[in-house]
Amino acid sequence: MQHTTRRTLLVQISFAVCAAMAGGLAWAQTYPSKPIKLIVPTSAGGGNDFIARTVAKKLEETLNWTVVVENKPGASGIIATDFVAKSVPDGYTVLFNGPLLVQAAGLYSKLPYDPLKDFTP
């Protein structure tokens, strides 16, 4: 069980770091012009929160810009995911999520968002 958890965390970290490094290249020269919100679907103080804050710090160093971690726990990540799905798709509200996004689609018959259509990696 511990091996799977560590592996999942490593995958999340790898994805977040790669997205941070590659994503900055695709945006226009004016990005960022306001703080970036990194939405975390778990409570503050947990492992996922720690990783999100570590990634946010690295993003701040890389982009030389403010990244704010915002925790929105509850409903197996659906609250945070729905918040990001309904936000303006401008790159300033980013979901820090891993398996919860995929698991929710398999566990719940009705979600307030479409995990395939409402998000861009």
Domain assignment of residue 114, yes or no:
no
Domain assignment of residue 13, yes or no:
yes
> What is the CATH classification number for the domain harbouring 26?
3.40.190.150
Q: Measured between alpha carbons, how far is 31 from 103 in angstroms, rounded to an integer?
A: 32
Range of the domain at 39: 2-107
Per residue in 6-22, pLDDT tens? 444 444 555 555 555 44
Domain assignment of residue 115, yes or no:
no
pLDDT (0 to 100) of residue 99: 82
Q: Measured between alpha carbons, how far is 48 from 36 in angstroms, rounded to an integer?
A: 18
Which candidate, 28, 48, 30, 29, places its Cα nearest to that of 38? 48
The four Cα atoms 77, 82, 84, 86 give a dihedral, to 10 degrees, of: 180
Query: Mean pLDDT of all residues in the chain?
Result: 82
Per residue in 23-62, pLDDT tens? 545 545 688 899 999 999 999 999 999 999 999 999 999 9
Domain assignment of residue 116, yes or no:
no
Taking 60 as the threshold, does the pLDDT of residue 1 lie above it?
A: no
Instruction: Provide the number of structural domains found in the chain.
Output: 1
